[in-house]
Amino acid sequence: MSLITAGSSGAQDVTKYVRYEAGGAVAYGILDGDTINELDGNFFSSPKPTGKTVALSDVKLLAPTEPSKVIGIGLNYKSHSGTEERAPYPGIFAKFPTCIVAHEDPIVRPEGADDLHYEGEMVVIIGKETKNVSVEDAPGYIFGVTCGNDVSERSWQSNDLQWFRGKLSDTFGPMGPVLVTGLDYTDLLLETRVNGKTVQSQRTTDLLFSVAECVSYISQFVTLLPGDVIFSGTPGTTAAMADGDVIEIEIEGVGILRNTLK
Give the domain extent around 253: 64-260
Considering the domain boundaries, does residue 7 fall inside one?
no
Q: Is residue 31 part of a domain?
A: no
Contact 172, 99 (CB under 8 A): yes
**Residue 105 to residues 83, 99, 108, 225, 261: CA-CA distances in angstroms?**
35, 12, 9, 25, 9
141 found inside a domain: yes
Which of 109-123, 132-146, 152-166, 199-213 is predicted least confidently? 152-166
What are the tens digits of pLDDT across the range 5-29? 544 434 468 999 999 999 999 999 9
**CA separation for the pair 96, 135 (Å, rounded):** 26
Establish if 139 belongs to a structural domain.
yes
- Domain membership of residue 16 (yes or no) is no
- Total number of domains in the chain: 1
What does the pLDDT read at residue 46?
A: 87
Residues 217-233 pLDDT 10s: 999 999 999 999 999 99
Find the mean pLDDT for residues 160-183. Answer: 94
Query: What CATH number corresponds to the domain at position 119?
Result: 3.90.850.10
Helices and strands per DSSP (H, E), number in the chain? 4, 18
* 11 domain-assigned: no
Alpha carbon distance 260, 9 (integer Å): 31
Residue 56 within a domain: no
Phi/psi region, residue 217 (left: phi>0; alpha: psi -120 to 50; beta: rest), is alpha
| Residue 50 located in a structural domain | no
In sequence order, the β-bridge partners of residue 124 are 145, 230
